[in-house]
């Protein structure tokens, strides 16, 4: 008998990343974009207490020095105390600046006249209020706001348009959530933050995975196949529930607009970003 060697079947493209390389690359990105191109050493970011903003803070501290990074905790009255504590754990570990700015008065100042606003609308108002704070503080400090959205939520459209996605630089936006977790452990983010269930913390006991209807690990595996060009049947054939594949596909296909600037009517052959094309760093 001649021995037969079976080639392994890969369920999905590897989500593994070399965290040392990723860190070096992202630190260089932040330094190039902030210091050399935009001529500032300072960054501001919102710390939610979650893993994404914690990783962004750790990267900024490495790139710029903790003394040049100011983190803002921006709780609403319903935000959990644990989130505030976890954000504090990050600033204490890094030794970077921290300030807490309550957004309750600003949010309620508007929402008091909108008593029928549902959770979705209220959440969006909070997210947009946090961006007002962050951009204003960046102007005050001569700093640049840093984005903290990951690739999974960007692909699934699980964010508030022109809020979470508005900072001009985002170091982690091409990393899936599971990759952010790996990077967080590599960077030394407190395990409590890495291990806890991700949550937008807009309502009590809310979790991302309940909102999305799928775990991040399954979503990331399916997304990685989808982005590689595989159709739904091929993806399901690799051992994913067709309902999960359909769910992810629907989220992606219904949110392309959230990954673009506003649609502008084109009337000339010099339309901006259609004919008049210049890169962002030109």
Partner 1 sequence: MKLAIVQTKPRKGDVAANLADLAEIFVQLAAEAQPYDAIVLPEAALTGYFLEGGVYELAFESEDLARRIAALWRAAPGSDRAPVDITIGFFENAGGTYYNSALYLEVGPRDHRIVHVHRKMFLPTYGVFDEERFLSRGRHLAAFETRFGRMAILICEDAWHAIMPTLAAIKGARVLLVPSASPGRGLAHGDELESVMHWRNVLRSYAVEHGMFVIYAGLAGFEGGKGMTGSSALIDPFGESVARLPALGAAVLRADVDFSEIDIARARLPLLGDLDSVLPDLLFDDELLPDTMRRLGERTA
What φ, ψ does residue 146 adopt, rounded to 5°?
A: -110, 130
Answer yes or no whether residue 267 interacts with partner 1 by CB under 8 A. no
The stretch among 31-39, 103-111, 135-143, 152-160 that binds partner 1 (CB under 8 A) is: 31-39
Name the pairing type of β-strands 43-46 and 144-145.
parallel
| Secondary structure of residue 249 in the 3-state scheme | helix
> Judged by CB under 8 A, which of 2, 7, 10, 16 binds partner 1?
16
Q: Which is nearer to partner 1, 36 or 233 (CB)?
A: 36
11 near partner 1 (CB under 8 A):
no
Using rule CB under 8 A, residue 24 touches partner 1: yes
Which of 32, 85, 191, 203 touches partner 1 by CB under 8 A? 32
Residues 6+ apart with CB under 8 A from 122: 107, 111, 202
The CB-of-178 to partner 1 minimum distance in angstroms stands at: 13
Scanning 33-41, 141-149, 227-235, 241-249 for contacts with partner 1 by CB under 8 A, the matching segment is 33-41
**10: contact with partner 1 by CB under 8 A:** no
Task: Report in angstroms how near the CB of residue 175 gets to partner 1 at its nearest.
Answer: 9
Helix axes 104-111, 119-141, angle to 10 degrees: 130
Complex with partner 1: residue 9 or 270, whichever CB lies closer: 270
Q: Is 272 in the site for partner 1 (CB under 8 A)?
A: no
Q: Binding residue for partner 1 (CB under 8 A) from 38, 197, 243, 276? A: 276
Q: Which residues contact 87 (CB under 8 A, 6 or more apart)?
A: 47, 48, 49, 53, 54, 71, 73, 98
Beta bridge partners of 228: none
Determine the Cα–Cα distance for residues 197 and 199; give it in Å rounded to an integer: 6
Angle between helix 51-64 and 81-94 (nearest 10): 20
* Binding residue for partner 1, selected from 204, 261, 265, 277, defined by CB under 8 A: 277
For residue 260, state whether it binds partner 1 (rule: CB under 8 A). Answer: no
Binding site for partner 1 (CB under 8 A): 13-18, 20-22, 24-25, 28-29, 32-33, 36-37, 179, 275-282
């Amino acid at each position: 008998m001649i021995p037969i060697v079976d080639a392994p079947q890969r369920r999905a493209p590897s989500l593994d990343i070399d965290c040392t390389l990723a860190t070096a690359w992202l630190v260089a990105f932040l330094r190039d974009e902030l210091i050399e191109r935009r001529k500032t050493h300072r960054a501001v970011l919102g710390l939610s207490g979650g893993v994404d903003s914690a990783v962004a803070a750790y990267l900024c501290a490495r790139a710029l020095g903790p003394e040049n990074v100011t983190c803002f905790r921006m709780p609403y009255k319903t935000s959990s105390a644990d989130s505030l504590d976890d954000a504090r754990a990050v600033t204490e570990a890094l030794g970077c600046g921290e300030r807490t700015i309550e957004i309750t008065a600003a949010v309620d100042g508007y929402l008091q006249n909108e008593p029928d606003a549902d959770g979705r609308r209220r959440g969006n108002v909070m997210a947009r209020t946090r961006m007002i704070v962050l951009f204003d503080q960046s102007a005050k400090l001569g700093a640049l706001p840093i984005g903290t959205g990951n690739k999974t939520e960007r692909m699934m459209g699980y964010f508030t348009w022109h809020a979470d996605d508005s900072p001009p630089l985002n170091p982690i936006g091409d990393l899936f959530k599971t990759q952010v977790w790996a990077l967080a452990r590599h960077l030394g983010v407190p395990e409590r933050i890495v291990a806890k269930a991700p949550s937008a913390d807009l309502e009590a006991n809310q979790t991302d995975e309940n909102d999305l209807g799928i775990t991040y690990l399954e979503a990331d595996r399916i997304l990685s196949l989808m982005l590689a060009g595989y159709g739904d049947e091929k993806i399901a054939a690799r051992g994913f529930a067709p309902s999960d594949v359909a769910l992810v596909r629907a989220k992606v296909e219904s949110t392309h607009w959230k990954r673009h600037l506003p649609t502008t009517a084109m009337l000339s052959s010099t339309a901006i970003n259609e004919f008049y094309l210049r890169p962002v760093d030109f």
